[in-house]
């Protein structure tokens, strides 16, 4: 990445931006460049094999009307590059031809700010559904956040889904309200007989305007917003937010606070993955096999409750550390609980592996090609089950992760079975990490005073579903812009590839094996 | 082979290992079962509807049906369609993007349909109150019979809410 940065500085006169505090663990280099050199830069970057990790906009940043932030990552390189492009008019060139993942981001920016992307492949709206009026762009500073007076019962337009036609092709529209107890989203299948020929997803039904809601809040008030991005990733997202705040004000969080944060982050991964294992067994009609995972998940949620008072660890992680300490006796209770955990899990996984009909449904179902990982920026267990070794805890360590033994369990299959086994292995690793951290957790304070006034910073965490990237810009002690990009946002489009050629009846188990968050995607 | 069959028929059953783990929940469940029997005759058909939650509330509703709580033994059934539902558990503030779907879902219920708001956001909009993307709590569109606050409420608290709902219906039928 360093050589790429030097090349951009030399050839395109890209100038380093004065970054408030250089990232200690997660290093981000900001480069500013003019709009004109963007196409050439993108061509160059495409050839260097970098990945577009995020793309978003901000208003009135560094003297420009709009700024587009392109964040690039190179595998096995700790340095992230943030390319800042200032534009005066609400118009920019699409980069989706070089980075296909940009398609989704550009639609998001177009909705939020009204920036038009020329030569874009897809100009349909994304998170603003038909109910919103034309010309409404909520993230513009000129729009003051308030309820809209809209008659939702009169739907005049229909969303233009991709068309598929031919002999024997029929459509199956599914959602937004599903048969199971899950979040809302729409799936438009085209099937031939039982086989899925094409799938198009349409989400953002749970779009709650969280990025706009965050604006004007203090970093502390913003914690509740981060926690509600996705309920089962609350610890991960609030940690990412606090990391960004802590970087802006340059404080060091006490070790004990990081130890407890790490325990909560890993517990979150454990209960999330346990739910996935149970769900996959349920979706192939094996409730007995799922029962063990369900019970262990309930126990894990209760451990969360005992430690923090919230079964989802909400309301304890704040900028500067934790807002209260956890008694050593409670941590001892967790330690005792983890003693036979791995053995019990292995027994439950062995029960699944011994059931031929389950393996039969899992194997070669919903295969995800490794080649999709880079263009779509796949991360988390979904990428690792397709043989891609990515884990933010290893690639961009934060907190105390550098000192911990985070293991990767890559599998090549890319199918439901591979995802099942990767998640099972990761639970075991998380439990070992928790045990290691508990052994090391000493006394001391859990909070460091901070004063966050001005500045911007990005932070990344490995949530249960993969890498979540946050970017925070503070002005006069209040949030000016808060961008959250969850792993779900990047991983959702891959389901359109994973299901093709499978039968419709296997869709639930494929969906469950990915277990992506709708709320975390829709914000 | 034959010995396997004998073992399966006469041996200790796997299910016998599952004991009620949570006595206070058990008590609550039996109370609810009695109430449901009194009001609905047999069972209460529940449909969950996410109108824009952060998914924590759904996880807790799901947990009610999972083996640890297994609320179905107390006469609650989670049904796949609003057309089969006596009550809707609505989670999350109603987003503009979901508003039309929420209305259609409620309209598809056999009337009178009962509505229970689960979680702070469904109760009154919670932290989302006043943003452009939400209408507000469930009562902005539907008549809400019971509100269960919490971020999210635990499975036990959801059960308490359902007991309250039954008590409310009983009171209404008595006075009405």
The rounded percent of chain A whose pLDDT value lies above 90 is: 75
- Block residue for tokens 């290893």: A394
Residue A209 forms contact with B (CB below 8 Å): yes
Q: What is the mean pLDDT of chain A?
A: 91
Domain membership of residue A368 (yes or no) is: yes
Residue A183 forms contact with B (CB below 8 Å): yes
A222 and A103 together in one domain:
no
Rounded (10°) CA dihedral A490, A108, A463, A314: -160
A402 and A326 together in one domain:
yes
A316 and A457 together in one domain:
yes
Residue A179 forms contact with B (CB below 8 Å): yes
A288 and A267 together in one domain:
yes
How many domains does chain A contain in total? 3
- In this complex, how many residue pairs, one in chain A and one in chain B, have their CB atoms less than 8 Å apart? 157
Neighbours of B83 (CB within 10 A): 12
Distance CA A107, CA A101 (A): 11
A268 and A330 together in one domain:
yes
Domain membership of residue A112 (yes or no) is: yes
Looking up residue A370, the CATH number of its domain turns out to be 1.10.645.10
A60 and A192 together in one domain:
no
Domain membership of residue A83 (yes or no) is: yes
A382 and A410 together in one domain:
yes
ipTM of the complex as predicted: 0.90
CA distances from B73 to A29, A100, A292, B20, B167 (A): 58, 50, 18, 11, 20
Contact call for residues A288 and A294 (beta carbons, < 8 A): no
A188 and A215 together in one domain:
no
Domain membership of residue A161 (yes or no) is: no
Shortest CA gap A20–chain B (Å): 30
Distance CA B137, CA A11 (A): 55
Interface of A with B in 233-272 (CB under 8 A): 234
Neighbours of A141 (CB within 10 A): 12
> Given A85, A118, A151, which residue is the final one in a domain?
A118
Q: Which residue has the higher pLDDT, A31 or B7?
A: A31
Tokens of A353: 């592996």
For A378-405, write each residue's pLDDT tens digit: 999 999 999 999 999 999 999 999 899 8
Domain membership of residue A108 (yes or no) is: yes
A284 and A432 together in one domain:
yes
Domain membership of residue A464 (yes or no) is: yes
Domain membership of residue A147 (yes or no) is: no
CA distances from A474 to A57, A213, A471 (A): 15, 14, 10
Reported confidence tier of residue A47, pLDDT bands at 50, 70, 90: confident
> pLDDT at position A20, please?
47
Distance CA B108, CA B83 (A): 6
- CA A155-A485-A239 angle, 5° bins: 125
Distance CA B13, CA A438 (A): 38
Distance CA A417, CA B39 (A): 46
3-state secondary structure string, A133-149? CCCCCCCCCCCCCCCCC
Contact call for residues B106 and B97 (beta carbons, < 8 A): no
Domain membership of residue A515 (yes or no) is: yes
Q: Which residue has the higher pLDDT, A370 or A408?
A: A370
pLDDT in tens, chain B (176 residues): 678 778 777 877 665 555 556 888 999 999 999 999 888 888 999 999 999 999 999 999 999 999 899 999 999 999 999 999 999 999 999 999 999 999 999 999 998 899 999 999 999 999 999 899 999 999 999 999 999 999 999 999 999 999 999 999 888 877 75
A263 and A187 together in one domain:
no
> pLDDT at position B176, please?
58
Looking up residue A64, the CATH number of its domain turns out to be 3.30.460.80
For A161-179, write each residue's pLDDT tens digit: 988 888 999 999 998 998 8
For A203-215, write each residue's pLDDT tens digit: 999 999 999 999 9
3-state secondary structure string, A492-513? HHHHHHHCCCCEHHHHHHHHHH
- Span A457-468, average pLDDT: 94
> pLDDT at position A179, please?
87
Which residue range(s) make up the domain with A181?
Answer: 169-202
Reported confidence tier of residue A25, pLDDT bands at 50, 70, 90: low
Which residue in A has a C-alpha nearest to residue B81's C-alpha?
A179
A325 and A355 together in one domain:
yes
> pLDDT at position A18, please?
61
Domains located in chain B, CATH noted: 22-164 (3.40.50.12280)
Which residue in B has a C-alpha nearest to residue A282's C-alpha?
B66
A196 and A214 together in one domain:
no
């Amino acid at each position: 990445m360093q050589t790429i940065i030097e090349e951009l500085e030399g050839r395109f006169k890209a100038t380093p931006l004065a970054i408030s505090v250089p990232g200690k663990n997660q290093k981000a280099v900001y480069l500013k460049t003019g709009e004109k050199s963007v196409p050439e830069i993108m061509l160059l970057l495409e050839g260097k094999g970098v990945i577009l990790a995020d793309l978003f906009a901000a208003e009135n940043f560094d003297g420009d009307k709009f700024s587009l932030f392109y964040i690039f990552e190179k595998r096995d390189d700790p340095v992230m590059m943030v390319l800042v492009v200032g534009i005066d008019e609400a118009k920019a060139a699409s980069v989706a031809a070089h980075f296909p993942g940009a398609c989704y981001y550009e639609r998001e920016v177009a909705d939020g700010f009204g920036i038009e992307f020329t030569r874009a492949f897809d100009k349909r709206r994304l998170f603003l559904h038909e109910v919103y009026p034309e010309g409404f762009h909520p993230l513009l500073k000129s729009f003051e956040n308030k309820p809209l007076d809209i008659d939702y019962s009169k739907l005049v337009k229909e969303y233009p889904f991709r068309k598929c036609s031919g002999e024997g092709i029929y459509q199956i529209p599914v959602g937004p309200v599903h048969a199971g107890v899950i979040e809302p989203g729409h799936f438009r299948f085209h099937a031939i007989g039982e086989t899925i020929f094409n799938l198009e997803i349409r989400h953002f039904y749970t779009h709650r305007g969280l990025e706009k809601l965050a604006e004007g809040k203090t970093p502390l008030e913003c914690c509740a917003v981060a926690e509600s991005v996705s309920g089962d990733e609350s610890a991960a997202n609030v940690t990412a937010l606090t990391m960004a705040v802590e970087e802006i004000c340059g404080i060091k969080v006490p070790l004990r606070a990081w130890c407890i944060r790490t325990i909560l982050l890993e517990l979150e991964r454990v209960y999330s993955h346990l739910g996935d294992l149970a769900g996959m067994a349920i979706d192939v009609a094996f409730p007995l096999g799922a029962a063990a995972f369900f019970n262990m998940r309930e126990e894990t949620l209760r451990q969360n409750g005992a430690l923090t008072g919230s079964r989802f660890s909400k309301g304890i992680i704040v900028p500067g550390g934790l807002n209260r300490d956890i008694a050593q006796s409670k941590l001892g209770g967790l330690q005792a609980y983890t003693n036979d955990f791995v053995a019990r899990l292995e027994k439950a996984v062995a029960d699944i592996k011994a059931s031929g009909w389950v393996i039969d449904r899992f194997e070669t179902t919903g295969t995800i090609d490794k080649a999709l990982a880079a263009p779509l920026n796949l991360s988390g267990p979904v990428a690792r089950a397709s043989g891609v070794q990515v884990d933010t805890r290893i690639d961009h360590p934060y907190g105390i992760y550098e000192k911990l033994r985070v293991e990767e369990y890559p599998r090549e299959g890319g199918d439901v079975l591979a995802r099942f086994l990767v998640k099972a292995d990761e639970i075991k690793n998380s439990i070992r990490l928790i045990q290691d951290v508990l052994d090391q957790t000493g006394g001391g304070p859990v909070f460091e005073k901070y004063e966050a006034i001005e500045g911007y910073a990005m932070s990344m965490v490995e949530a249960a579903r993969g890498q979540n990237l946050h970017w925070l810009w503070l002005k006069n002690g209040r949030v000016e812009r808060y961008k959250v990009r969850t792993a779900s946002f990047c991983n959702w489009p891959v389901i359109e590839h994973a299901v093709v050629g499978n039968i419709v009846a296997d869709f639930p188990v494929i969906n469950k094996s990915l277990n992506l968050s709708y709320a975390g995607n829709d914000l | 082979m034959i010995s396997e069959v004998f073992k399966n028929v006469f041996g200790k059953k796997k299910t016998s290992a599952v004991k009620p783990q949570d006595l206070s929940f058990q008590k609550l469940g039996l109370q609810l079962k009695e109430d449901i029997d009194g009001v609905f005759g047999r069972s209460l058909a529940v449909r969950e509807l996410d109108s824009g939650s952060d998914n924590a509330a759904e996880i807790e509703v799901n947990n009610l049906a999972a083996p640890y709580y297994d609320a179905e033994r107390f006469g609650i059934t989670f049904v796949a369609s609003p057309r089969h539902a006596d009550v809707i558990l609505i989670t999350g503030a109603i987003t503009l993007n979901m508003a039309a779907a929420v209305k259609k879902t409620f309209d598809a219920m056999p009337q009178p349909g009962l509505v229970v708001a689960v979680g702070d956001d469904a109760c009154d909009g919670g932290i989302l109150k006043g943003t452009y993307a939400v209408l507000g709590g469930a009562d902005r569109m539907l008549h809400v019979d019971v509100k269960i606050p919490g971020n999210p409420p635990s499975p036990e608290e959801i059960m308490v809410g359902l007991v309250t709902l039954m008590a409310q219906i009983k009171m209404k039928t008595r006075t009405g």
